[in-house]
Structure 1
Amino acid sequence: MHPCSAFRSAALRPPVAAMAPVALAVLVLSQSVALAQQAPAAEPEAASLPTVVVTGSRSERDPAEVPVVIDVLGAQALDPAGVQDIRDLVQTLPNVSVKRAPTRFGAAVGSTGRDGNAGFNIRGLEGNRVLLTVDGVRMPRELTSGVFGSAAFGRDYFELGHISRVEIQRGAGSALYGSDGLAGHVAMFTAEPRDLVKPGQTTLTRLSLQADTEDDGRRAGLMVAGTPNERHQYLASLHYGVAGALDNQGRNTSASSARTAPNPQDDRSLGALLKWIATPGGGQKHSFTAEHIDKRSEVEVYSGRGAANGFLTTDLDGTTDLRRSRLGWDGRFRTDAPWADELRATVALQDAESRELALEQRRSLAGGPVTGRSRDVTYEERLLQTTLQAEKSLSSPAGGWAQRLVYGVDLVRSELDNLVTGTVPPVYERYPLKRFPETTENTVGAFVQNEFQTERWTVVPALRYDHVRLDAEDDALYPKQPADLSASALSPKLGAIYRANEHWALFGNLAAGFRAPSALQLNNYFDNPLGYYQSIPNPDLKPEKSRTLELGVRGQGDGVQWEASAFTGRYKDFIEELVRVNGTGVPGDPIQYQAVNRGKVSLSGVELKGRWQLAAATALRLALGRTQGKDTSTGRPLNSVNPAELHAALEQKLGAWTVGLGLTHVAAKKAKDVDFSATPAQFVPKAYTTLDLKTSWQLSQTTRLSAAVRNLTDRTYWQWTNVRGVAATSPVLDAYTAPGRSVSVALVTEF
């Protein structure tokens, strides 16, 4: 464990270091019990349960009864042949993307992709402006900044093998979930035992094997679920994978900075999940969850070899370690009291640590021996999250309004720290040091939502109050006087649905969002006394805020389901990092940089999605999305907005086979939609169209073989999200191309 000893907090460190062997033992024991019980042969699979969503209302709802756009990704969308990671997860969702730039960096500078699958972009906003949760628990935040050199920490703390459902809510969600719900909410839910065990069985074992040529990945998963009696359920899941670098269309394989082929890379991932559910009676349900994610990546950076700044780099290696451990309890109590029908209480402890190490060998161009230097950066985030939530349904007279009330409180405490160390630091610095001091963030939120409903109308007002406080500690490794922050936010929401008839309905949603500044934005520190510039804290930093409006219509009938929406949003007090605020850059008057509330952004767009059952065994799916955005304070376009996308998929069932052909068309990024101020020669990719082929073969009642061919025509193209900041004159432009033709296969069997 990396030595950030001052930050260690035993009360917040879940004892899950040995979770992998425990999970394996449970799997073996459970399988032995299943064999001893001689369970009867599997019966035909039960009818699918109705789709429900939670993110739009904090309680289960039919998606048609929620006045916002939510994408629900279930078993078919999570097929392991087509979905290996979060980048694959959203590839066919317009206005949603995941950045994955190539891994090219230097030991101290040049961060262009060390964050891997960095995180989600929803309708042009990304990073910590999108709330990420697993089973309702907040995921660690992104940490990127020029002051960390080549280090960049993304948000890919997930093992999709554990996930049974993903909900992606578009638009502000702070009225129910508080900070970070500025742009949207990606909520993942781990598998439940009763979702897996079939009628007539008490245990189920699921084995999955995957292979993918896109990154030479091989993955295996084993999941055991059991319901030994009506009062107890259990689930244990263990997934392990190895992979290489993500492929591209670059052909230069030299061990130099001219290389455009991927750098050699060795990735390994381990995910373990344990879950026990007890229903002792009296309307009680207690769920206990332990989860551990461990991802490691080693890169031989051939592209980092070469001459620069008077030195010749002869070898460069990078290692990234990402770990997350979670313990949680979710208790539900049937009260049938005047103030609540059901009470829910949750407690979660989470410990996350990311570390990036760069090792470099170099020698002076003027002569001399080969010397080494290293840079080692660690980011830690520990979380204690508690929630108390009540629900109450109120009946109404005939023809009146029925009500469903949800209210409660959230308490979140996060401890955040970082450490930069290594050998041969810049002449103006001394290792170890910190870019921001150890910081404790406390958030208290109280929310209430009252849903009124008649046969024709649903009206959903909601209101939330949050108070956020960041307390920074004095630290010997942080020479500045740290700033603290205390801020409050009131986030209202008003949603409505009008059901014209049983076939179609109108919906609208007006909502507020906010995001509190991060510890790094509040106290970013860097000082170069030889270059006469520095970054300084900003005690006057304020939370970012948003107001979004969405109007839409959805309908179904005659084999057609469809939904169309238009949205617009206004965002103010955007936080821009490392803005020049003072100084002339001479001795005694250094240039000073700060994170400041400067930007005002507007975003608007449209989305359309639908499914048409052409025949009993034939279905057509369509999805279209387009967003436009600009910084209204400068009049410049917002570069985080992706071009318009169209997705179409035709699916045909042929007995035990299912075959699907998918088309993706991405429009060209127009020059008028690009801000060239940071990169005047910014590369602007052209439009492209790709084809994907998917097939699934139900070998038996319990075994399925599936395969996917991506980019069937081997098209060379660039995704805008991965080339932002890359000049059209770059000699290594091909290094940023998307993968060519690739094949993935998966075998899933249950017994």
Structure 2
Amino acid sequence: MKFSKHSLALAIMAASVSVAHAQAETSSDDHSGKHYQPTLLNQVTVSAARTEKQLKDIAGSVVVVDEEQIEKNMATDIKHLVRYEPGVTVGSDGRNGSEGFNIRGMDGNRVKIMVDGVDQPQQFKPAGPYQRGQRNFIDVDSLKAVEIVKGPSSSLYGSDAIGGIVAFQTKDPEDYLKAEGDDTAASIKGAYTSADKGLATTFTLANRTGDLESLLIYTRRNYNETSTHSGLDVNGETRGKADPMKFGGGNLLGKLRYQLNDNHRIGLDAEYQETKSDVELKSGVGLIPVVMTGDDKRQRKRVSFSHEWDASLVAFDSMKWQLDWQDSQTRQNTHIPAYEKQILPPPFDPTKFNARNKDYLYQEKSLKLATQFEKTFTTGDISHHLIYGADVRQVKTINENTTHDLKTGKPTDDTYIPGVDNQTYGLFAQNDMQITKRFKLSPGLRYDSYHYKPKGKLKDGTTANDKKGSKLTGRLGAIYDLNDNVSVFGQLSQGFKAPGLYETYFNMDTKGKNKHLANLDLKPEESSSIEFGLRGDHNFVSFELTGFFSRYKNFIDEVKKDGGIWYPFGISQYQNIAKAEIKGVEFRGQLWLDDALNAPTGTSLRTSIAYARGKNKENGKALNSVAPLTAVFGLGYDDVSGDWGGELAWTLVKGKSNSDIDESDVIDITKKQFNPAGYGIVDLTAYYHPMDNLTLRAGLFNITDKKYHQWQNIRGRNTDDKGLDRYTQPGRNFSVSVKWDI
């Protein structure tokens, strides 16, 4: 099913007309006596302004996926969290599962990911299936909300936020307990997903005794590989099935909160996650004519101590500081059986290869101290909410890659990037000002400094020098209320991204395959972005129409060139592109149809549409990281009893035009990029409460059994890749869950 720009225009017009009609027909008074549910813009965000605010008071585009929506979507990983959020995508990498987030064409380490304010490890992905460091150390059953800030946010969060922020908030004891007094609450949840034969069980226990609150959440997951649409089960490039895998692991989250007195509150958080997997790399049969196997292990450990102080001093009204320690690591062990012949082009001779193990480790150990102060005051008729603070972070990166010859017992060091110590600090301030009753202004500034200290030399013997730099970034946001229900907003923001360790120091030379050159002269990326929009918000209707334009200087991208017979897959290096730009438009809307169109009480319609284009201004080619035009329409119903309901969701994705693809950004630069067709899929989710403390949920996904590719997974693949079916999404599949609140 194709989705054209004409369809986009009609969809936006229809949604806007419906919203305008609803607002014209209804005053701010509740004249019908119905119970209105919160609208999109009444949701609360913390990360977008570093303090609690409703979305309608933020001069920028922010998406909040709360616990209720996470449950309704039946999300089991970070990809499912944003299933219905156009403009935000998550790719998958077979053996390694879900990758990081892509926001408006910015992905990888350009998107800052935090869990309760703790920065998550960087993505590290050289070539081949042997070494990958992903950013999927999150268990969704521990979350109460996910906040996605679109666009540059460096003025508040520094480097790595040039493309936006994904802030995970884990559950707190107060989310389960009564507002006051001693209390205990518990729940048990079980879930099954057919696409990966996954089983998950979550146990939750919360307690308040006097001034002490506690929470313990444990989730255990076991699942297989995510199925593809094709049933082809052969070895090598023509294999259509996903490689066989078995995953198992758990996530344990514990929290303590103690109210010392009326003004002081302390907290202690601890989290431990571990996953293990076994995989048969049947799809890797190519240059190596045997089936490799792998066993991987991922761990993330963190401990955080926090202190909140309601001071009411001249310098600040409140203060919070937090000390975080985190250790995350990915270990991959790949076993390659012995084989007699390596299929390589001349002038290579057949070579005998012994059985060997490739043992890879990527680890980050971090320590961070962050402080934040808030002060509210007035000057004349202007009210101010000043937020300022500082953070200091030290990260020790360990990267090891050793090949063990199982016949000779001889180990070979194949480490392509040295270990690096990274020290950063930042100072920030933002002032949210109420200039008049209808006009708000929010200027902000941040200063960042970074210093890389590599340990050892590059693979080719080159000395890996220190790299250091600093940057001042700013932001100016404004909101003007046209009336009580409609407002316009806009912001100018700057972004800053220090060169990544992989982009700077990665050095590899594999004759007969490819070569990657380090670049010690990389400059930091910089961006300037303008965003403007129109919002409407009422008890039963809300919408937001946003346009944005981002320009990047010293944009870092991988540049490939023909490597000749010695390097048939090319020679590559990360380089600074003079200029790049991304522009687009987004629309979100929610309408309660019972009041607007006299539909059955509890009927609602939600709409989300995102369109963007990116261009490398140096060569005029498109940026392949930008997702195609996407729209989601959801027709929902919640019975007035609150006992049951559901939603029918229709997702439409348009195929990319040839002018929107850079053909050189492929595995084999002598061939064309595969361009998947557009598609439409339909999902149905439902819930039922047979009793007050029991919730049953079910979901049927891809109801029409559509065969389709997602751009973020197929990007970079050639048209003649015989394994394209391996990247198809699951056919018709279902999920079920049951939750018992004790």
Residues 377 and 420 of structure 1 are in contact (CA less than 8 Å); yes or no, is this contact kept in structure 2?
A: yes
Alignment of 1:218-229 (within 5 A): 218-229=199-210
Is residue 495 of structure 1 aligned with residue 514 of structure 2?
A: no
Aligned match of 1:550: 531
Instruction: Indicate the SS of the match to 2:289.
Output: strand
Residues 168 and 187 of structure 1 are in contact (CA less than 8 Å); yes or no, is this contact kept in structure 2?
A: yes
* C-alpha deviation, 1:432, in angstroms: 2.3
Distance in structure 1 (CA, Å) of the matches to 2:257 and 2:49: 24
Aligned match of 2:466: 484
Aligned match of 2:289: 312
Distance in structure 1 (CA, Å) of the matches to 2:72 and 2:277: 21
Alignment of 1:7-18 (within 5 A): none
Is residue 351 of structure 1 aligned with residue 327 of structure 2?
A: yes
Change (3 A) 1:422 1:533: closer
Q: Point out where structure 2 has 5 or more consecutive residues left out of the alignment.
A: 1-36, 343-349, 595-600
One-letter amino acid matched to 1:623 = S
Distance in structure 2 (CA, Å) of the matches to 1:690 and 1:345: 46
Is residue 395 of structure 1 aligned with residue 391 of structure 2?
A: no
Match of 1:74 among 47, 66, 81: 66
Distance in structure 2 (CA, Å) of the matches to 1:437 and 1:514: 24
Aligned match of 2:395: 414
Deviation readout 1:221-256 (Å, 9 max, x if unpaired):
001111122x21100010000000101111211244
One-letter amino acid matched to 2:320 = R
Residues 532 and 585 of structure 1 are in contact (CA less than 8 Å); yes or no, is this contact kept in structure 2?
A: no
* C-alpha deviation, 1:595, in angstroms: 3.2
Change (3 A) 1:560 1:328: same
Aligned match of 1:602: 581
* C-alpha deviation, 1:600, in angstroms: 2.2
Is residue 512 of structure 1 aligned with residue 504 of structure 2?
A: no
Aligned match of 2:345: none
Aligned match of 1:725: 716
Measured on the aligned residues, the alpha-carbon RMSD in Å equals: 2.6
Match of 1:386 among 369, 375, 379: 369
Equivalent pairs counted in the alignment come to 679
One-letter amino acid matched to 1:704 = T
Match of 1:698 among 689, 706, 725: 689
* C-alpha deviation, 1:521, in angstroms: 2.2
Aligned match of 1:377: 360
Instruction: Indicate the SS of the match to 1:125.
Output: coil
Match of 2:646 among 659, 673, 680: 659
Distance in structure 2 (CA, Å) of the matches to 1:389 and 1:739: 45
Residues 74 and 166 of structure 1 are in contact (CA less than 8 Å); yes or no, is this contact kept in structure 2?
A: yes
Residues 664 and 690 of structure 1 are in contact (CA less than 8 Å); yes or no, is this contact kept in structure 2?
A: yes
Match of 1:640 among 606, 625, 636: 625
Change (3 A) 1:715 1:538: closer
Alignment of 1:45-194 (within 5 A): 51-79=43-71, 82-101=74-93, 103=94, 114-146=95-127, 150-194=130-174
One-letter amino acid matched to 1:509 = Q
Match of 1:198 among 174, 178, 181: 178
Distance in structure 1 (CA, Å) of the matches to 2:55 and 2:502: 38
Change (3 A) 1:626 1:48: closer
* C-alpha deviation, 1:368, in angstroms: 11
Is residue 328 of structure 1 aligned with residue 308 of structure 2?
A: no
Residues 560 and 664 of structure 2 are in contact (CA less than 8 Å); yes or no, is this contact kept in structure 1?
A: no
Residues 81 and 707 of structure 1 are in contact (CA less than 8 Å); yes or no, is this contact kept in structure 2?
A: no
* C-alpha deviation, 1:433, in angstroms: 4.1
Match of 1:626 among 611, 614, 620: 611
One-letter amino acid matched to 1:712 = I
Distance in structure 2 (CA, Å) of the matches to 1:365 and 1:524: 30
Aligned match of 1:562: 543
Aligned match of 1:300: 280
* C-alpha deviation, 1:51, in angstroms: 3.4
Alignment of 1:441-452 (within 5 A): 441-452=422-433
Distance in structure 2 (CA, Å) of the matches to 1:208 and 1:218: 11
Match of 1:248 among 224, 228, 240: 228
User: Among the aligned pairs, what percent are the same residue?
Assistant: 28
Distance in structure 1 (CA, Å) of the matches to 2:218 and 2:331: 23
Residues 433 and 478 of structure 1 are in contact (CA less than 8 Å); yes or no, is this contact kept in structure 2?
A: no
Residues 155 and 473 of structure 2 are in contact (CA less than 8 Å); yes or no, is this contact kept in structure 1?
A: yes
Aligned match of 1:262: 242
Change (3 A) 1:605 1:260: same
Instruction: Indicate the SS of the match to 2:92.
Output: coil
Distance in structure 2 (CA, Å) of the matches to 1:614 and 1:500: 25
Instruction: Indicate the SS of the match to 1:739.
Output: coil
One-letter amino acid matched to 1:153 = G
One-letter amino acid matched to 1:452 = M
Residues 81 and 745 of structure 1 are in contact (CA less than 8 Å); yes or no, is this contact kept in structure 2?
A: no
* C-alpha deviation, 1:274, in angstroms: 0.6
Instruction: Indicate the SS of the match to 2:308.
Output: strand
Aligned match of 1:676: 663
Residues 464 and 491 of structure 1 are in contact (CA less than 8 Å); yes or no, is this contact kept in structure 2?
A: yes
Residues 391 and 405 of structure 1 are in contact (CA less than 8 Å); yes or no, is this contact kept in structure 2?
A: yes
Aligned match of 2:592: 613
Alignment of 1:205-224 (within 5 A): 205-224=186-205
Residues 438 and 482 of structure 2 are in contact (CA less than 8 Å); yes or no, is this contact kept in structure 1?
A: yes
One-letter amino acid matched to 1:82 = M
Residues 449 and 463 of structure 1 are in contact (CA less than 8 Å); yes or no, is this contact kept in structure 2?
A: yes
Is residue 714 of structure 1 aligned with residue 693 of structure 2?
A: no
Alignment of 1:556-595 (within 5 A): 556-557=537-538, 559-577=540-558, 594-595=573-574
Alignment of 1:352-367 (within 5 A): 352-365=328-341
Instruction: Indicate the SS of the match to 2:52.
Output: coil
Instruction: Indicate the SS of the match to 1:658.
Output: strand
Q: Please give the TM-score of this superposition, normalised by the length of structure 2.
A: 0.87
Change (3 A) 1:637 1:608: same
Aligned match of 1:13: none
Deviation readout 1:631-669 (Å, 9 max, x if unpaired):
111100011111111101111123421021110011111
Residues 120 and 127 of structure 1 are in contact (CA less than 8 Å); yes or no, is this contact kept in structure 2?
A: yes
Change (3 A) 1:82 1:592: closer
Change (3 A) 1:48 1:389: same
Distance in structure 1 (CA, Å) of the matches to 2:174 and 2:295: 40
Deviation readout 1:18-45 (Å, 9 max, x if unpaired):
xxxxxxxxxxxxxxxxxxxxxxxxxxxx
Instruction: Indicate the SS of the match to 1:636.
Output: coil
Alignment of 1:18-29 (within 5 A): none
Aligned match of 1:743: 734
Deviation readout 1:328-370 (Å, 9 max, x if unpaired):
0121111111110001111000001111221111321499999
Instruction: Indicate the SS of the match to 2:337.
Output: strand
- Bigger CA drift: 200-209 or 477-486? 477-486
Instruction: Indicate the SS of the match to 1:539.
Output: coil
Residues 312 and 364 of structure 1 are in contact (CA less than 8 Å); yes or no, is this contact kept in structure 2?
A: no
Change (3 A) 1:202 1:536: same
Change (3 A) 1:253 1:560: same
Aligned match of 1:7: none
Change (3 A) 1:369 1:595: closer
Change (3 A) 1:532 1:378: closer
- Bigger CA drift: 49-58 or 238-247? 49-58
Alignment of 1:412-491 (within 5 A): 412-424=393-405, 431-453=412-434, 454-474=436-456, 479-491=461-473
Instruction: Indicate the SS of the match to 1:336.
Output: coil
Q: Please give the TM-score of this superposition, normalised by the length of structure 1.
A: 0.86
Distance in structure 1 (CA, Å) of the matches to 2:139 and 2:101: 15
* C-alpha deviation, 1:377, in angstroms: 1.3
Aligned match of 1:22: none
* C-alpha deviation, 1:475, in angstroms: 5.9
Residues 397 and 420 of structure 2 are in contact (CA less than 8 Å); yes or no, is this contact kept in structure 1?
A: yes
One-letter amino acid matched to 1:518 = G
Instruction: Indicate the SS of the match to 1:64.
Output: helix
Change (3 A) 1:577 1:666: closer
